[in-house]
Each structure stands twice: as structure tokens, then as C-alpha cells.
Amino acid sequence: MRRKGDLPVKTCAQCGRPMVWRKAWAKTWDEVKYCSDRCRAEARSRRGKPEAGTPGGRRS
């Protein structure tokens, strides 16, 4: 049995929090980017929106 401190750790691409390996992620650990469904949904919703401080479609 492994101790929790010995498990691999990644940083969430959305919120920046550390996430520890879970057995449910065993087969897809290399593909895991987000710590939760909420972070995944926020990342998807921000992809299509323009960045703050840039005009949202207006051209001069």
C-alpha cells in the first residue's frame, strides 16, 4: 500500500490547485488536466470568450 505523500501530483490547468492521483484516473492520468467538472466547464466557457481588455468584435 502506498502513502498519500508518495502518489503523483499535478496542477489543475484552470484553478492552479494541486491534485493527487486517484484510482479512477489510473488509465488516463496522462490526459487529466482539470481537478473537477467545474474547472473543466469553466475552461470550456472561457475558450470562446475574448480576453478582458480587448474589444469583443469591434473594429476601428
What would the pLDDT profile of 2-21 be if each residue is shown by its tens digit?
787 788 899 999 999 999 98
| pLDDT for 6 | 83
Report the distance separating Cα 30 and Cα 38, nearest Å. 20
| pLDDT for 1 | 72
Which is more confident, 59 or 3?
A: 3
28-54 per-position pLDDT tens digit: 999 999 999 999 999 999 876 665 555
3 state DSSP class of 19:
strand
Count of CB atoms situated within 10 Å of the CB of 35: 19
Full-model pTM:
0.65
Residue 56 reports pLDDT greater than 90: no
Grid cell 501530483 is found at: 9
> What are the DSSP calls for 44-56, one per residue?
HHHHSSPPTTS-S
